[in-house]
């Protein structure tokens, strides 16, 4: 029973986020953020990210469980990187912040 409580604490843990801490997104999520901004889809993307934020850990675990099936159909190396990144609850918030940052820089550029 102790192992179950330990796993549940890990699954629902929200790590400390000190003020001013700058986290670096994995390269695949950075490319995704840039693609979203290049296409002008910032607002729908941020709304979607904020909507699914509570499910990011479950999504990451599902992606890891489905990896053998996905690999048979398509060998996408970044898939595992994204799945591992989604285990951290702050990832989707960081992705939304990066999209806003890129959109702000694009909007201020002549």
CA distances to 20, 80, 95 from 91, in Å: 16, 14, 6
pLDDT digits (tens, 9 = 90+) for 64-93: 888 777 777 766 667 778 878 888 888 888
Q: Is 8 strand, coil or helix?
A: helix
pLDDT of amino acid 9: 67
- In this prediction, residues 43-62 reach a mean pLDDT of 86
CA distances to 35, 38, 60, 74 from 89, in Å: 22, 26, 10, 27
Question: Residue ranges of the domains in the chain?
Answer: 24-108
CA distances to 52, 98, 109 from 40, in Å: 20, 14, 14
pTM, two decimals, is 0.68
């Amino acid at each position: 029973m102790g192992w179950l409580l330990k796993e549940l604490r890990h699954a629902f843990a929200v790590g400390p986020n000190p003020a001013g801490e700058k986290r670096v997104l994995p390269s695949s999520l950075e490319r995704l953020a840039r693609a979203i901004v290049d296409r002008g889809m910032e607002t729908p993307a941020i709304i979607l990210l904020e909507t699914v934020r509570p499910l990011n850990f479950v999504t990451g675990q599902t992606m890891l469980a489905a990896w053998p099936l996905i690999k048979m159909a398509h060998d996408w190396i970044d898939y595992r990187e994204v799945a591992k990144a989604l285990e951290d609850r702050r990832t989707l918030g960081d992705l939304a912040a990066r999209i806003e940052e890129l959109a702000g820089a694009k909007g201020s550029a002549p």
